[in-house]
Amino acid sequence: MTRRISKRKRFIMMNPIIQFFKFIYLSLKILVIVAGGHGGTREVQ
Amino acid sequence: MSRIVVLGAGISGHVAATHLRRKLSKEHTVTVVSPNSNYQWVPSNIWVGIGRMEPKDIIFPLEPLYKKKGIEFKQAKVVTFHPEGDTEIDKPFVKAEYVAGEAKGTTEKVTYDYLINATGPKLAFEMTEGLKPATHKAYSVCTYTHATEAWHALDQLIQQMKQGKKAKILIGTGHAKSTCQGAAFEYILNVEQELNRHGVRDMAELTWIANEPQLGDFGMDGMLLSYGSNIMKSSELVEMVFEDRGIKWIIGAGVNKIEEGVAHYETLDGEFHTETYDFAMLIPAFSGHGFKAYDKNDQDITEKLFRGFMIVDADYTPKPYEEWSVQDWPETYQNPSYANIFAPGIAFAPPHAISKPRVSKNGTPISPAPPRTGMPSGITAKLVADNIIDTIKKKKPSLHHKGSMGNMGAACIASSGYGITKGSGISITTFPIVPDFNKYPDTYGRKLGKTFGEIGLAGHWLKLALHHAFLYKAKMRPFWWLIPE
Ligand SMILES: Cc1cc2nc3c(=O)[nH]c(=O)nc-3n(C[C@H](O)[C@H](O)[C@H](O)COP(=O)(O)OP(=O)(O)OC[C@H]3O[C@@H](n4cnc5c(N)ncnc54)[C@H](O)[C@@H]3O)c2cc1C
């Protein structure tokens, strides 16, 4: 096992308060990317 | 009055059937033909496989729901396709064989005006010698029954480790052309966390084995993603996670034979090796179901409908990797020979892989097949349903709804440990799924910012929230259609 994630980073990753805000942020960001639409590619050509 | 027949009640078949039923008046019939009696939320099989969820948490019976909502259900499997009818019936039909109830074993010609083939993949365990779920200490998590078996075996091993046994655990792909690396990736991280939780992590050697040329390829040629304020390759992200968790890896490996506790594999450098294990979870190759199709005079026309999976509006011209283009990928999932047949989800034949094809020094192809995850499966099913709805309502062909995987984003929330406070998830979004090197030449064909990675507890909550949201949606509870695919 090689430590590749620093203690500080791990704290941020697992802190419920920080992660709560991250959860909101991620949910919105993913919603925008995924529900943001899709379409064809050929017409663009 | 139209009859729409949907084959398969997995993610894409169920999405198509529910949208069709909601948007079409009752004079039109929506029929689902599928051998499974339960709907299963496949992504949560990972948690069944580590004993943190039970099958009942991820499934529900289809028949009562369909009855309530006015969807006809035939618990049967389609065996042959007859898109022109036959000498007896002047309408297109599929032949279906009932798998349960009084009609079990009997066949029926199910006629249709529109056909949606959403039969997904065949889990082709037989393509790897000796690979069969729950034999030779090798397991699968592809269905909830497989995942339950996997958990029982893993649990037994954990108990033995508590008694002092040292164990080797092997997780990854069980064939040189497997796809769905993401599911195996989630499973290995969840297993690692569970070993920690049971206090036996030190007793286990955990190894990842995959046909990927690099870690983090995921059948998508890997990706360049934003990670915090950095730009990182997915291979670096996965390497960081594996090293941090003490997981070893074997990549570029095509598993070709399984014996009791031994996996045989060939690597891209042409070497043959073996890896021993006490417990393995290996994703099999996915293949088409081997369906046959016949014309009106009973002549075999299988090549008009299938090339392994179903032929749709893709460009299947064989070309070298360098000439692949995002425009090769289908947009409407319509069969070019029969305009009333569609194939969303995993059921359509992809024009080619996404990951660069590679062969070993012995000429064995070892590289991932293209993945089609739940999100694109749902999106493509909905757009197929919407085109059929428009065609019926406007009384003229309409293919207005389009969704190429080259112009669609996907979110892969890979669970990397279960628990409300101890859980973790690796959220990776990709846009587009199939890289577009013309639009995004400097970033491996994907849009940075929309292609990003995040690791942490929030990812686990997100995965859990999606589990509940998608089951709510699948059960067609109030306002279910507001939840996007
Ligand atoms: C363990 C695991 C974890 C996953 N995790 C994720 C994840 O986290 N996120 C994500 O986006 N994707 C995930 N996926 C991928 C996702 O599950 C698939 O993309 C999705 O299930 C594909 O949907 P589908 O409807 O095309 O196929 P399927 O879900 O396979 O459905 C096919 C349906 O067809 C039926 N059928 C089969 N044969 C016949 C026949 N002859 N006649 C009629 N019906 C038939 C089957 O019974 C089934 O109902 C995961 C996959 C696995 C295996």
pLDDT in tens, B26-42: 999 999 999 999 999 99
Mean pLDDT of the residues in chain B:
96
**Cβ–Cβ of B402/A45 closer than 8 Å?**
no
Atom of ligand 1 nearest to the CA of B463: 8
What pLDDT does B415 receive?
87
pLDDT by residue (tens digit) across B346-386? Answer: 999 999 999 999 999 999 999 999 998 999 999 999 999 99
Beta strands B248-250 and B230-233: pairing type?
unpaired
What pLDDT does B57 receive?
97
Number of domains in chain B: 1
CA distance A3 to chain B (A): 5
ipTM score for this prediction: 0.92
What pLDDT does B396 receive?
95
What pLDDT does B83 receive?
98
Element (H, E) at B258: strand B253-259
What pLDDT does A37 receive?
76
What pLDDT does A39 receive?
87
pLDDT by residue (tens digit) across A1-45? Answer: 788 888 898 999 999 999 999 999 999 988 888 777 788 888 654
Which residues of chain A make contact with B375, given a CB cutoff of 8 A?
Answer: 34
pLDDT by residue (tens digit) across B163-197? Answer: 999 999 999 999 999 999 999 999 999 999 999 99
Whether B303 maps to a domain, the answer reads yes
**Cβ–Cβ of B375/A2 closer than 8 Å?**
no
What pLDDT does B161 receive?
98
Whether B131 maps to a domain, the answer reads no
For B138-207, the DSSP string reads EE--SSHHHHHHHHHHHHHHHHHHHTT--EEEEEEESSTT---HHHHHHHHHHHHHHHHHTT-GGGEEEE
Whether B220 maps to a domain, the answer reads no
**Cβ–Cβ of B409/A36 closer than 8 Å?**
yes
Q: What is the mean pLDDT of residues B400-413?
A: 92
Whether B471 maps to a domain, the answer reads no
What pLDDT does B3 receive?
97
Q: At a CB cut-off of 8 Å and minimum separation 6, what does B27 contact?
A: B1
Residue B458 has pLDDT above 90, yes or no: yes
Q: At a CB cut-off of 8 Å and minimum separation 6, what does B86 contact?
A: B93, B294, B296, B298
Whether B117 maps to a domain, the answer reads yes
What pLDDT does B16 receive?
98
Range of the domain at B388: 3-122+288-404
Q: How confident is the model at residue B338 (pLDDT cuts 50, 70, 90)?
A: very high
- Tokens for B205, please give them: 């050697």
Whether B217 maps to a domain, the answer reads no
pTM here is: 0.96
CATH code of the domain covering residue B73 = 3.50.50.100
Whether B266 maps to a domain, the answer reads no
Interface test with A, best of B226, B235, B315, B327 (most A CBs within 10 A): B327
The CA-based angle B282-B183-B277, given to 5 degrees, is 30
How many CB pairs lie under 8 A apart between chains A and B? 98
In whole angstroms, give the CA distance from residue B123 to residue B150.
16
Q: Measured from the CB, is residue B34 less than 6 Å from ligand 1?
A: yes
CA distance B466 to chain A (A): 10
What pLDDT does A45 receive?
45
Chain A residues with a Cβ under 8 Å from any Cβ in chain B: 1-5, 12-16, 19-20, 22-23, 26-27, 29-31, 33-36, 38-42, 44-45
Q: Measured from the CB, is residue B289 less than 6 Å from ligand 1?
A: yes
Whether B171 maps to a domain, the answer reads no
